[in-house]
A and B are shown apart, each in its own frame.
Chain A
Amino acid sequence: MDIAVILRTVPDPVEELELNDDETDLDRDYLGFVLNEFDDHALEEALLLKEAGGGSVTAYAIGTTDEVEQILYTAVAKGADAAVKLGDDVGALDAHAQAEVLAAALGERSHELILCGVQASDEIDGQVAMLLSAKLDLPHVSVVVGVEPAGDGLSVTKEYWGGITATYDVSLPAVLGVQAAQQAPRYVAVSRIRQAQEAGALSEAPFVPPTGSSGITITAMRIPESGTGAEMISGDEEAAADRIVELLQAAGMGGGA
């Protein structure tokens, strides 16, 4: 199966986020970016499908930063057959713009399956996976936790609440928003990533600057005050333990084993 995987970088969740001067966006100068966790799962699912049934995996990413190149080299090191870098120094694109760029690039090629992470932490104007499927007019299932070939198409497992899952037959070509691959994303040694880098394993594709607009504007950003309404317990672990036991007893529990 000919599979395309969309990879995106997002601000590193372990970083403390700071805002820029007019507080309409993050301060991107010092931000660390990492691969979107769900895209990592999408890549893993793609590699598993290829290992089980043959075919090829091509990774796509928008941007020219070091981080973008790193995630593409990592994809190649893990087993992707090709990695395509889209674009110029574009800065942060919203979901609509990303979907437009990707649709232009993917529309030229004939991938049977496009896997993308179900969401990314900065998609305020919609999910790229879904928007892409709309642009390409392809069937789409989101929150996917399992993909298997079934006849000419796929049998896809979608997760609902409370652990309930449903399976669907999906005809190809299709776009899937992956929540979790069937196994945790594999580890690839740094030396292999370096090798991919030294082999210059990236190709570029023409970047069509997006023209559409998301139709929304962020007017302000703020860091939510932690514990508004929360009583923050001060002191060391002993003080905290004392207070928590108090609270437990007030709630009628923790009177002792």
Chain B
Amino acid sequence: MSGAVLVITEHLNKRFTDATFELLALARTLAGDAGVEAALVGSGVAGMAGELGAADRVVVIDAPHLEVFDPDGHAAAFAAVVAGREPRIVLVPYTSTGMDVGSHIAARAGLPLVSYCRSIDASDGLSATCQLYAGKIEADVSVDGDRAVFSVLSGAAPAADGRLEGSPEVVEAGVGAASRTRFTGLAEPEGGDVDITAQDVLVVVGRGIESEANIEDVVKLAELLGGAVAASRPIVDQGWLPKSRQVGKSGLTVKPKVYLALGVSGAPEHVEGMRDSSTIIAVNTDPQAPIFGVAHHGWVGDLFDLLPELTDRLEG
């Protein structure tokens, strides 16, 4: 085995995602002498290897049918890379693409898989700290043996640390098994009326808002603050706000000056979309809500009691 740390990279429209750089940064802290390798799968992507300067080697699988991410094809390709390179540690991002790849690689290579990792320790055997139960529990996990695949939550390491200039060695690898899935089209969401990523203030509602009618009062508050209303996934799923307002893993990532979360529990999928906001204020009736773990300021109480008080004060 190579003993290296292998990073599964992901890209769309010829741009690597932030997750890729976060994993590279993390990999650098874990890598021993064998260094960091990055797996790059796509079509006509060899030229992108230069952006992965944080890695010592980039293993490239280049094939036309792999141009856009294709669950079966890419999973097989990455599995082939792992089989060929035999890394000690494989880092997979906890993203939509990562979810198609992680368990497959682990199963094919017969390696243990650790999910929802916040941090990894490779100094004495392999262990990690993970989030379970939608962020309500933190677990320490140790790996039997010395090789494993880790599915890593966003924010485990700063992306900036992974964006290094460099010229890694490029190694070509053969394509994996033929794909049983075939990409047929991409759809971007309709532009919403409001771009929440451009707002300075976001007032965000979660399940605690209880009904669509209550959102009106929140809109009023957001207007008073010169900001906009955003939402966590359950609200958008109900159709109470459009997809363009969704913050989180399958929504948008935002970094406003003020993020006021009302009735948002703070599951990892949501937190990953707002963690970098400058001031996070959270309101929830549940003292165990994971949002308080990422907030700068918190109040355990009923948002319906707070809203009128806030609105009154802001109206002057």
Binding site for B on A (CB under 8 A): 10-11, 13, 16-17, 26, 118-119, 121-127, 130-131, 133-135, 138-143, 155-156, 158-171, 174, 177, 179-180, 184, 213-233, 236-238, 240-245, 247-248, 251-254, 256-257
Contact = CB atoms under 8 A, between A and B. Distances in A.
Interface in B248-289: 249-253, 257-258, 260, 278-279, 281-283, 287-289
A145 to B, nearest CB: 9
A142 B100 contact: yes
Contacts of B260: 244
A215 B138 contact: no
Interface of B: 12, 17, 68-72, 75, 95-97, 99-100, 102-104, 106-108, 111-116, 127, 130, 132-145, 148, 151, 179-189, 200-201, 223-227, 237-238, 243-244, 246, 249-253, 257-258, 260, 278-279, 281-283, 287-290, 292-293, 295-302, 305-306, 309-310, 312-316
A24 to B, nearest CB: 9
B100 A140 contact: yes
Contacts of A179: 250
Given A215-B143, A222-B139, A241-B312, 6 more contacts: A134-B103, A158-B96, A160-B97, A161-B253, A242-B313, A257-B223
A231 B292 CA distance: 9
B144 A216 contact: yes
Give me the 3 closest cross-chain CB pairs, A-B, nearest first: A215-B112, A134-B107, A130-B103
A226 B292 contact: yes
A125 B112 contact: yes
Main secondary structure of the interface of B (DSSP, over half): mixed
B183 A232 contact: no
Contact of A214 (B71, B112, B136, B283): B112
Given A127-B103, A130-B104, A227 B314 contact: no
Contacts of A222: 137-139
A125 B149 CA distance: 10
Contacts of B227: 253
29 contacts: A13-B136, A26-B137, A124-B141, A126-B102, A127-B115, A130-B103, A131-B106, A131-B107, A139-B71, A139-B72, A140-B104, A141-B181, A142-B96, A156-B181, A162-B189, A163-B246, A214-B113, A219-B140, A220-B140, A221-B138, A223-B138, A224-B136, A224-B138, A228-B293, A230-B292, A241-B306, A253-B226, A257-B223, A257-B316
A140 B112 contact: no
A174 B181 CA distance: 10
B180 A161 contact: no
Given A164-B187, A256-B315, A231 B141 contact: no
Main secondary structure of the interface of A (DSSP, over half): mixed
B72 A237 contact: no
Contacts, number: 292
B115 A126 contact: yes
Contacts of A254: 224-225, 314
B250 A135 contact: no
Contact of A166 (B143, B185, B292): B185
A10 B185 CA distance: 35
Given A220-B140, A231-B298, A240-B301, A142 B99 contact: yes
Nearest to B243: A163
B106 A180 contact: no
B49 to A, nearest CB: 23
Contacts of B103: 126-127, 130-131, 134
Contacts of B127: 219
A226 B288 contact: yes
A166 B68 contact: yes
Contacts of A118: 99
A104 B287 CA distance: 42
B98 to A, nearest CB: 9
Given A139-B72, A215-B144, A233-B299, A251 B104 contact: no
Contacts of A247: 258, 279, 281, 297
A106 to B, nearest CB: 16
Given A127-B103, A130-B104, A215-B144, A162 B313 contact: no
